[in-house]
Structure 1
Amino acid sequence: MRIAMIGAGAMGAMFGARFAAAGADVVLYDRDAEHVAAISADGLLVTDPEGEKRSHLAATTSIDAIGPVDVAVVMVDSNATRVAAGALEAVLGPDAFVLTMQNGIGNVEALAEAFGADRVVGGSTYNSAARQAPGRILHSNIGETTIGELDGAASDRVAAIADLFRRAALPIVVSDNVLGVIWMKFVLNAAINPVCAVTGLRPGEVARTEPARHLLESLLDEILVVVAARGIALPSVDPRAEILDHAWERYNRPSMLQHVEAGQRTEIDALNGALLREADALGIACPFNQAIVLTIKSLEARTLARAASPDLDESSLEAVARANPRPAS
């Protein structure tokens, strides 16, 4: 099985290394030239609870250099899903398919729109990884991944991917409700990740810090109202308790926290931003989620502003501001 990891950041590179160790022919694709160069020169070093492993994998910054594949595993930031989909047609053979294990909602829909729902397999993962340096990945939590056909049917291709996960020593579940599983992960990420991003706290710290916990619970309660109104069947008897338990038990660095700390664009539009779009269509107010979206976008704007003007000249800026009164609202 020849696999292209589309988006070889922390998660994509980690999965790529595991799949290669299990016998797959893997090529990594990422736009980060420094990261790709480090992998090409010295291999990919992954540290996990079992120790360090160096994998020598093909890596490229060019879609055209990938060549035909049987499976494209899309792990790009949700902001880049449609762009990635537009470039993938050239490397997908007639029987090839796309697997997504991305965070957020809308990725499955974007890929199905590009390739047809019959060429898309959905997935959700509770593995955690972070990039420590170019070519160096920390696989901090070996968690469960769930995959399945979008229509809930059994298939040989899903069975083959599940077998690859088992050979890679990664926990795997095949579900007939993979869309519900994706929504469950969406609810968890939308409740926990932005709170970590704005506070700098890990999930376990959020759960033990009263103001942060209150913010998490307020976001979560609004999200669950929207999910119920949307008619989504979450695969949990008590999703609220399950998500609060998850926060209590975990001390990983969620991807949104990593992005804010690195001055990168976050996935807020695919998480709480997507929630607000769903809520608006249903006529449901979500003030806490609206506030968290505005806060994260303000942090993103700060990054751009500081990059353009790292040293603020207060006197000059204030003189210009006084000379140009604030426009009327």
Structure 2
Amino acid sequence: MKVAVMGAGAVGCFYGALLARAGHEVVLIGRPLHVQAIERDGLRLEMQGFDQRLRLAASTEASAAQGANLVLFCVKSTDTETAAAQLRAHLAPGALLLSMQNGVDNAERLRAVLPDHEVAATVVYVATGMAGPGHVRHHGRNELVMEPSHNGEAVARLLNAAGVPTTISGNVRGALWAKLIVNCAYNALSAITQLPYGRLAQGEGVPDMLDDVVDECLAVARADGVEVTGDPHAAVRLIAQTMPTQLSSTAQDVARGKRSEIDHLNGYVLRRGQTLGLATPVNRALHALVKLLEDKAGAGGQAA
């Protein structure tokens, strides 16, 4: 199968690399720095028991997705509509797009721009990062949970065969919210302090603050008719134990002077709460503080 990865950052490069290892024709669409490194040296995939360079196509142009049967849509939530519009003229009629993004409304936003194409919201559970241009490093996990779609079963089989544990769920919205809650708990705090999760969770008053964030998010989700999967309080506690050295993506964006996804994390909960008549003061404070950091870095108008 021809697979296009729109937004070849850490997540896109990692899953694109696994599909390329499985023999699929993969093209990575990303930023010039990474594309140039991949064209010159191949994509370096570093994970437990494996460190190798893979030869696969890379481009800075959305037109490289021409003819792809499957599109892994991995751009930042801030760029969803722009990237979708760039793809529109190049998508094959039966192509399936997997929205593999943070936040809970990206699939809906994609469908609004691409009404003639199939989109499946997909929850991504992976710890991975770009260690340098064209170099992706995997730290743990790599499961996907997809919402049902016309070609979903076939794509799930393809992903499982490539070493990506993939399930199809009728409650992807609840799973997206469960992940959103973890992101709301840690991402902003990690960005504000530039501390990893393990250190954060040990801070004075922080465990209670994390509980407050979770409670606000759950109240909004329930008022919105969402059945959140699992135990979000337990999931938040577990992250500090299983990923103690991890800095959030928001922290990394702020440190680089980039615009973050905070509007689609704590900011989303804040907006939904306002719509539903629910106060979310802790999420409001975290969102405001990260926006101040972005403004201080001059990142307010930059693309993420």
- TM class by shorter chain equals over 0.9
Partner amino acid for 2:154? Answer: A
Kept after mapping to 2: 8 A contact 1:195/1:215: no
Aligned position for 1:135: 134
CA-to-partner distance for each residue in 1:48-105, whole Å, 9 max, x for gaps?
1223121111000111243221111110000000001111122211111211110112
1:245 aligns with 2:238: yes
Tell me how far apart the structure 2 counterparts of residues 76 and 97 of structure 1 sit (CA, whole Å).
16
8 Å contact kept, 2:126–2:141: yes
Bigger CA drift: 8-17 or 250-259? 250-259
TM-score by length of structure 2 reads: 0.93
Instruction: Look up the equivalent residue of 2:237 and give its one-letter code.
Output: L
Aligned position for 1:322: none
Residues 250-265 of structure 1: pairs in structure 2 closer than 5 A: 250-251=243-244, 252-265=246-259
Contact 1:146/1:175 (8 A) holds in 2: yes
Computing the radius of gyration from Cα coordinates, the structure with the larger value is 1
| 1:84 equivalent in structure 2 | 83
Distance 1:142 1:202 in 2: 18
Alignment partner, residue 189 of structure 2: 195
Give the aligned partner of residue 5 of structure 1: 5
Q: Which moved more, 1:35-44 or 1:173-182?
A: 173-182
Query: Quick one: structure 1 residues 123 and 65, their matched pair in 2 at CA, closer, same or farther if it must change by over 3 Å?
Result: closer
User: What is the Cα deviation at residue 273 of structure 1?
Assistant: 0.8
Bigger drift between 122-131 and 256-265 goes to 256-265
| Structure 2: gaps spanning 5 or more residues | 300-304
CA distance in 2, matches of 1:245, 1:129: 18
Aligned CA distance change for structure 1 residues 143 and 208 (closer, same or farther; 3 Å): farther
1:207–1:248 Cα contact (<8 Å) kept: no
- Match of 2:70? 71
**What residue is the counterpart of 1:27 in the other structure?**
27
Q: Do the aligned residues in 1 keep the contact of 2:27 with 2:56 (CA within 8 Å)? A: yes
Deviation at 1:115, TM superposition (A): 2.2
Residues 216 and 280, structure 2, Cα contact 8 Å, conserved in 1? yes
Give the structure 2 partner of residue 167 of structure 1: 161
Report the RMSD for the aligned CA atoms in angstroms. Answer: 2.0
Gaps of 5+ in 1: 306-329
Q: Distance in 2 between matches of 1:298 and 1:128?
A: 27
The 1:244/1:59 distance shift into structure 2, 3 A limit, reads: same
| Deviation of 1:245 (Å) | 2.2
- Name which of 253, 260, 265 aligns with 1:266: 260
Task: Work out the CA distance in 2 between the residues paired with 1:195 and 1:244.
Answer: 14
Question: 1:80-229, aligned counterparts within 5 Å?
Answer: 80-116=79-115, 119-149=118-148, 155=150, 157-229=151-223
- What SS does structure 2 have at the residue aligned with 1:180? helix
- How many residues are treated as equivalent by the alignment? 300
Q: TM-score, normalised by structure 1?
A: 0.86
> Deviation of residue 118 (structure 1)?
6.5
